[in-house]
Amino acid sequence: MDFVIAPSSFPSFLNRDNIPSSAGIFTLTRFSTVTFSYDHRCPRGCRSRRIPGCSRIKCSRRRDMDSSKSATSPEISKPKILTGPGGYVLEDVPHLSDYIPDLTCHPNPLQDHPAYSVVKQYFVHVDDTVPQKVVVHKDSPRGIHFRRAGARQRVYFDSDEVHACIVTCGGLCPGLNTVIREIVCGLYHMYGVKKVEGIDGGYRGFYAKNTVHLDPKVVNDIHKRGGTILGTSRGGHDTSKIVDSIQDRGINQVYIIGGDGTQRGASVIFEEIRRRGLKVSVAGIPKTIDNDIPVIDKSFGFDTAVEEAQRAINAAHVEAESIDNGIGLVKLMGRYSGFIAMYATLASRDVDCCLIPESPFYLEGPGGLFEYIESRLKENGHMVIVIAEGAGQELLSESMQSMAQKDASGNKLLKDVGLWISQGIKDYFSKQRKMPINLKYIDPTYMIRAVPSNASDNVYCTLLAQSAVHGAMAGYTGFTSGLVNGRQTYIPFNRIIEKQNKVVITDRMWARLLSSTNQPSFWNPKVSMEDKGNEEEATELLDNGICGEESPRFN
Ligand SMILES: Nc1ncnc2c1ncn2[C@@H]1O[C@H](COP(=O)(O)OP(=O)(O)O)[C@@H](O)[C@H]1O
Ligand SMILES: O=P(O)(O)OC[C@H]1O[C@](O)(COP(=O)(O)O)[C@@H](O)[C@@H]1O
Ligand SMILES: [Mg+2]
């Protein structure tokens, strides 16, 4: 039985919501006769017979497409790029209606919500976008924009129809539990969605474990705890099995919380879902304390990690100050990006030297680290060094037997630079300089990421989670919810996974650090000229947008 309702019979607010011309009428389709056996599942993800929006003709036509379970389809969706006057570019995110025609939509239930209905203009205008760069010149082109996140006037899921799942992958990060909590509560309290499941233990949990029931009662207090109540893992990623599991369980909204590796995985999952023609929204929430995800202002949990790192730096300073020629050495996380070390150093003001993966350094000779340590000790009697775990790895490889080991996700396993440099400093001063020093090495690595998120990260996590929920309900898919210039946006996966965010050492922020520590830049003009990749973009973090101008040069 099909119902076709003309727009005039809908509440008037719907007509104001820039309904695309292709959706000139709303089609409420209901069918009662078609059945799908396990082997002939409805490729749109509905295993029940009575899910609106899944017409018999289209489902049976699409059944053929489902016969191949291969996740290696060459059909990768093209980026959705829209251009406008003045050099305006919108890097848009996919929508379920891009590949599923005649989807039904409904008025957003938030219009009747006691909290939100009083907000003037609560719904985001369909044309709202956020610029990637806010510092422009008079004649600059308008540049790249992302779709603004937030609740839309119409949604593409009926609340009763939604079956959501949440998964957390990769390393821990403060705030994971808050994001889980706010997705569950957002779905329940804003949209009346009751079916939410947690995937146990990362991606492999989709096919290797049972799911965990989630509701507001279960998640009520979890934001006060570190870690993730769902568990996490690296590796174990089989796209076909994951999408089979999504389809078998009848899941139609997938919330994936994780770092760069996870978002790469999410992008492949989205492509496979699209290839199978399923009505399943895939929403990513970027997670990493390393802050190595590009485009976004910063990742959640980063502030908490920097705050926690202060405790280790303070301890190192107290220890170093208390003895003659005291050196406090602190190793912080940061595999490829030194943001935590840089911000912890800038925040502390007690640090004399910060070493990060992006800034190569050398130990001996004029302008080297050992010479600087000696001068600081002679001048001050003590010093504090902060080193990111990924710093100086090329020096370690030279002096240790190279073992290119990787973790289950394919990330390079690093050698312990903290122990190595501690030994190097001790050997240099005792053997070559015959100068007694007292070195205390503090390794708080896991302590800074296992803590619960602080107040500001909790609010940030809430906004990211709610944005993801609004986006999925509005039918967007293949997107990551992220903060761009202080506004919540939907960013296409291809932009999130194309490269890693790194500290740009020719940028103002690194200059601020150098001027705060007084350390040598270890800058070698020849090496820097060769390092073209680093010159293009300014460091993306807390720089109030002013770092997007020309990168200044130092030395
Ligand atoms: N290039 C990739 N393509 C698809 N999936 C990936 C890729 N890299 C990592 N993954 C998957 O994402 C998950 C987490 O990745 P990992 O690198 O460990 O953490 P993070 O997401 O925090 O960077 C793992 O289960 C892994 O299998
Ligand atoms: O020991 P583990 O769990 O693999 O985690 C160590 C890694 O996790 C991180 O904190 C973050 O990495 P991800 O963002 O990839 O999870 C790195 O800085 C660190 O090298
Ligand atoms: Mg990673």
Ligand 1 atom having least distance to the Cα of 171: 22
**197 Cβ neighbours under 8 A, 6+ residues apart:** 163, 164, 165, 166, 211, 212, 213, 214, 249, 251
Residue 409 near ligand 1, beta carbon < 6 Å: yes
- What is d(CA 359, CA 100) in angstroms, rounded to the nearest whole number? 48
Which residue among 256, 333, 389, 500 is best mutated to probe the pocket of ligand 2, counting the most ligand atoms within 8 A of its Cβ? 333
Q: Beta strands 212-214 and 195-198: pairing type?
A: antiparallel
Write down the ipTM of this complex: 0.98
Identify whether the C-beta of residue 407 lies closer than 8 Å to the C-beta of residue 235: yes
Q: What protein residues have CB closer than 5 angstroms to ion ligand 3?
A: 259-261
Bridge partners, 257 (sequence order): 168, 285
CB neighbours of residue 89 within 10 Å: 17
List binding-site positions for ATP. Answer: 171, 234-235, 259-262
Whether ligand 1 lies within 6 angstroms of the CB of 268 is answered as yes
> 471: part of which helix (H) or strand (E)?
helix 455-473
| Ligand found nearest the CA of 238 | 1
Q: What angle do CA 284, 287, 292 make, to 5 degrees?
A: 110
pTM for this entry: 0.85
The pLDDT assigned to 554 comes to: 25
Tokens standing for 186? Answer: 């957002």
**What H or E segment, with its residue span, contains residue 83?**
strand 80-84
Q: pLDDT tens across 159-169, in order? A: 999 999 999 99
Low-confidence ranges of the chain (pLDDT < 50): 1-74, 526, 528-529, 532-536, 542-555
Instruction: Report CA-CA distances (Å) from 223 to 123, 172, 177.
Output: 27, 14, 5
Q: How far is the CA of 176 from the centre of ligand 3 (A)?
A: 15
Distance 258 CA to ligand 1 centre (A): 8
Whether ligand 1 lies within 6 angstroms of the CB of 58 is answered as no
Q: Are residues 299 and 482 in contact, defined by beta-carbon separation less than 8 angstroms? A: no
The pLDDT value recorded for residue 119 is 80
Q: Which residues line ligand 2 (CB under 6 A)?
A: 170-171, 259, 261, 288-290, 333-335, 389, 407, 411, 449
Distance (Å, rounded) from C-alpha 242 to C-alpha 282? 12
With a 6 Å cutoff on the Cβ, whether 202 touches ligand 1 is yes
For residue 12, give the amino acid letter: S
Residues 6+ apart with CB under 8 A from 207: 238, 241, 242, 244, 245
449 in contact with ligand 1, CB cutoff 6 A:
no
What does the block give as tokens for 296? 């976004």
Residues in contact with 365: Cβ distance below 8 Å, sequence separation at least 6, in sequence order:
371
The terminus-to-terminus CA distance of the chain in angstroms comes to 75
Distances, alpha carbon 279 to alpha carbons 215, 247, 343, 388, 544, in Å: 23, 10, 42, 43, 39
Q: Ligand 3: distance of its center to the CA of 55 in Å? A: 41
Q: What is the pLDDT of residue 218?
A: 98
CB atoms near residue 510 (< 10 Å)? 22
Q: How many CA atoms lie within 13 A of 328 on its CB side?
A: 24
Protein residue closest via CA to atom 3 of ligand 2: 171
Which pLDDT value is given to residue 483? 97
- Considering just the CA atoms, what is the radius of gyration of the chain in Å? 26
CA dist 52 and 42 (Å) reads 13
106 Cβ inside 6 Å of ligand 1? no
Evaluate whether 316 touches 481 at the Cβ level (below 8 Å).
no
The structure tokens listed for 170 are 């990769």
The pair of three-digit structure tokens given for residue 314, joined into one six-digit string: 């303070």
Rounded distance from Cα 368 to ligand 3 centre (Å):
31
158, 290, 297, 352: the catalytic one is 290
For residue 545, the model assigns a pLDDT of: 38
Length of the chain, in residues: 555
Nearest CA to ligand 2 atom 12: 171
User: How many angstroms is it from 273 CA to the middle of ligand 1?
Assistant: 18
Which one of 76, 169, 413, 500 would you pick to mutate in the ligand 1 pocket, going by the greatest count of ligand atoms within 8 A of its CB? 169
Please, are residues 357 and 409 in contact by the beta-carbon 8 Å criterion? Answer: no
Contact present, 304 and 451 (Cβ < 8 Å): yes
Tell me whether residue 290 is one of the annotated catalytic residues.
yes
Query: How many angstroms separate the alpha carbon of residue 260 from the centre of ligand 1?
Result: 7
Cβ within 8 Å of residue 518, ≥6 positions away: 352
Q: Which ligand has an atom closest to residue 173 CA?
A: 2
User: Does the beta carbon of 169 sit less than 6 angstroms from any atom of ligand 1?
Assistant: yes
